Each structure stands twice: as C-alpha cells, then as structure tokens.
Amino acid sequence: RNLPQENKKELLLFFAKEADRVGQKQAAADVMDIYLTDKTLTREERIEATILLAQISYDKGQIDLAVAEFAKGAQELQKAGCKQNKCDEIRTHMRRFVTELHRTKKLKPDNSLLNAYVTYNNTFGGDKDMLHRGSVVALELKNYPTAIALFRGISGNSKFSEKEREEAILNEIKAAEQSNVSALKQAAYENYLSNFPKSAKTFEIRYQLAYLSYQDKDYSKAVSAFTRLAKDDSGKMDLRKKSADLALDSL
C-alpha cells in the first residue's frame, strides 16, 4: 500500500507476466486489466501492455478479442511511435502474435489473419519474411490488391538485394495476372520496367505490356509497342516475330 506508484506498476506487470509464464492465463489477464487502469502509464507502457494482453487472449482461445486488441495496440503505436529499445521489444511480441495466429489458421486462413499481417507490416516495415508470408495468405484468399501491396513492400525497399526485389516484382506480376484485372497487370508490368529496364526478362515484360493493350483493344497503342519490339534486336527472335504479326493484326 505504501509503495511508490512506479514500483506498483512494475510489480503488477511482473505478476501479469509471471502468471502468463506459468500458464495462469485468466489471472494474467485480470492483473493486466488492473495494470491498464493506471493513469500514470506512459503511452509506450500502455501499447506494450495491450499487445501482451492480445497474446494472453489468444492463448485463452479468444481469437477475435485477441485480434481486436492487437489492432488497437498497433494503431496506437503507429500514431505515437516509440523509443528504439522499446520498439524492438514490442515488435518481438507482435511478430510472435501473428506467427502463432498463422499456425492456428494455417489450414484455413481467413481475413483476420490477413489483417494481422497487414497491421504488423504497416507498423514495422521492412520485414521480408512477414511481408512474404502475408502476401501468400492474401493470394490464398484471392485478395490480389493486398498481395501486390505486400510484395511492393519488398520490391520498393532498397535494403533488400536486387535479386530479392526482382523476385518480389515477378510475384507481383503473377498476382496481377491471376486477378485478370488489366489495371493491376499494367501497374505490375510498368513497375518491373521502371526498376529493371535492362534485365534478362525486360523484353518479355515489354511484350506482355504490349499484349495487354492488344487484349484491351487499344490497337493504336498496341501497334506502336509491337512495332518497337519487332525492330528491337535485343529480343528473342520468336517474340520479335510474334510482335511483328500482332503489329499487323492490330493495324
């Protein structure tokens, strides 16, 4: 009763973590609820506690509640930010939460899992494994725009190698082609060409972009694109011949 407020906070958090560690999930949740009523908590302390409570709710089998608490904590973190050492700690907790949620829903992924990946990646960019796993879930759910956005998180980040970035854009192209949405396909092809204007696949991607104009019956644009390809001796002869045939057909 006579302890300073700071010590009370530390003890409550310690008891919550210990109860969680020994498997007393309800006790851990109860203590964490008391801890969160403390008006002296810093924003970082409140965010960390919310993420920990999300994990406890998950461990209790309260998946929907856990995902809601996780999103709440992440939203606060995105608005407020945090110091580097505390951010690293929170990031570890959030990554663990999403990874364990994925393990639970591996056989039947759903939108709550995808939203958890999107939330994590919007909060902590540059995690290639989490971006890739999230994009795979999006593809399984046929949410092609989200898959593409997650692949862009890799391809648009200069900290990744050229090979990793190219692979991400090629995956983006596959996702766009699976969607069969012209706008998504065009954006993916153009993204590749803007990043890799002279790669081994550049000519093929240019051909796909020209063929997209042909499919969309934009014949004027298709003629120009196919004519340039037919005259470009850097390309394979079979694609150059196809380009010449399609240029005539478009004309």
Q: Indicate if the alpha-carbon torsion angle 119, 125, 126, 127 is positive or negative.
A: negative
pTM of the model: 0.85
pLDDT in tens, 15-34: 888 888 888 888 988 888 88
Percent pLDDT > 90 in the chain is 64
- Average pLDDT of the chain is 91
pLDDT in tens, 51-85: 888 889 888 888 888 988 899 889 888 888 777 77
pLDDT of 3 higher than 60: no
Average pLDDT over residues 171-190: 97
pLDDT of 107 higher than 70: yes
Residue 46: which pLDDT band, with cuts at 50, 70 and 90?
confident
